[in-house]
Amino acid sequence: RWSVDKNVDNLTGYPQITQAADLLLNNEVVAFPTETVYGLGANALNDQAVAKIFEAKGRPADNPLIIHIADEAVVSDFVEEIPEKAKQLMKAYWPGPLTIILKMKEGVLSEKATVGLSTVGIRMPDHPVALALLQKTNLPIAAPSANSSGRPSPTTAEHVWDDLQGKISGIVDGGPTGVGLESTVLDCTEEIPVILRPGGITAQQIEEVIGKITVDPALLDSGQKPKSPGMKYRHYAPDAALVLVKGEREDIQRLIFEKQQEGLKVGVLTTEENEYFYQADKVIACGSRKNLDSVAGSLYDTLRNFNSADLDLILSEMFPDEGVGQAIMNRLVKAAGYRIISI
Ligand code: TXA
Ligand code: MG
């Protein structure tokens, strides 16, 4: 486990980066920070290297990995064509939390990473440590979030350690990540691009650059099969059952007392605004409603923190389904296994 200061100049010259890059070049797996969440990286050109990612995470074999790059020029090595809209988005939001799905060139990337699909998701992370590793190795790096499959994605090196210690070759600790939720996954193989996973770049930001887009209908309806393989799994879940509650804080408090009377230990996920209003077995404030970016930034850490309290039930407030709120609600709804009640 290496600590690096992400703000120093010339990170590529640092011994920690050299050691981590050497492991990646030797087809080992290493976790590193990006601006969204920590990733678990491996050489995307090598089947054995990529297989180690699936092994360490316990990841379902049909779930494709995002390919990380540091230089836009290499995209054409991996894809058949780059549509005009994709080019405009790369210009506007790379490096940044936007993964672009394009038609793949056969026979270049490891099929283990793309799981036999005809498309590939590519992104350029906006984090000095990730970019230094990509530059130093000069490899495309396949990297899912560096959590055990099903657990909340890691936003600190500590989270990665808790999930994957003993299963991977190293962790580069660059401090907490910024955005806190994963990249937006946008399918650009269609004339009208489709959001497969909401994330750090909002639908509105994308439409400002390329006009009308759509959203995979499965994101709004748990009955439909999502276009992105990873979106069908239960994910991000804390140990206790999580339920989202539409209602006023007084109603939520009444429900907490009711459940406690039934003998359950109950937690509540709220924000700074209501932190001192609730009485429960555990109250965690996740950022402030005045700044939804702060909620996104601490959501996964909050979900993990509930695990220390041995709860039976966690009730969560809802968030507005707009801007970064769309990604927050998408993750919360999945963490809750689609359990939402109105009171
Ligand atoms: O912010 C992020 O994107 C982080 C950091 C580490 O870069 N990575 C990440 O990877 O979240 P992962 O593997 O946890 O999620 C990748 C998502 C999955 O839902 C996967 O199914 C989808 O992207 N995906 C990848 N390639 C795809 C493809 N060709 N077609 C459809 N969905 C794809
Ligand atoms: Mg993930």
Q: Are 342 and 247 in contact (CB under 8 A)?
A: yes
What is the Cα–Cα distance from 259 to 317, expressed in whole angstroms? Answer: 16
Q: How many CB atoms lie within 10 A of CB 330?
A: 22
Conformation bin of residue 287: beta by default, left when phi > 0, alpha when psi is -120 to 50: left
Q: Which among 67, 83, 100, 64 has a CA at the least distance from the CA of 194?
A: 100
pLDDT in tens, 211-262: 999 999 988 777 788 888 877 777 788 999 999 999 999 999 999 999 999 9
Q: Which residue, by CA, sits nearest to atom 33 of ligand 1?
A: 228
| pLDDT at residue 227, rounded to an integer | 86
Query: Which atom of ligand 1 lies at the shortest distance from residue 227's CA?
Result: 31
Testing ligand 1's pocket by substitution, the residue of 99, 134, 171 carrying the most ligand atoms inside 8 A of its CB is: 99
Q: Are 229 and 223 in contact (CB under 8 A)?
A: no
Query: Which atom of ligand 1 lies at the shortest distance from residue 125's CA?
Result: 7
| Beta sheet of 30-33, edge-to-edge order | 2-3, 170-173, 30-33, 38-43, 141-142, 67-68, 119-123, 98-103, 184-187, 194-197, 214-215
| pLDDT at residue 242, rounded to an integer | 97
Q: State whether residue 21 is helix, strand or coil.
A: helix
Conformation bin of residue 197: beta by default, left when phi > 0, alpha when psi is -120 to 50: beta
Single-letter residue type at 85: K
CA angle (311 as vertex; 307, 317 as ends), nearest 5: 85
Complex-level ipTM: 0.99
Ligand 1 lined by 69 (C-beta under 6 Å): no
| pLDDT at residue 236, rounded to an integer | 84
pLDDT in tens, 7-21: 998 899 999 999 999
What is the Cα–Cα distance from 122 to 133, expressed in whole angstroms? Answer: 16
CA of 103 to the centre of ligand 1 (A): 15
- The whole-model pTM stands at 0.96
Single-letter residue type at 99: T
| pLDDT at residue 226, rounded to an integer | 83
Ligand 1 lined by 33 (C-beta under 6 Å): no
Testing ligand 1's pocket by substitution, the residue of 102, 219, 228 carrying the most ligand atoms inside 8 A of its CB is: 228
pLDDT in tens, 175-199: 999 999 999 999 999 999 999 999 9
Ligand 1 lined by 268 (C-beta under 6 Å): no
| pLDDT at residue 28, rounded to an integer | 98
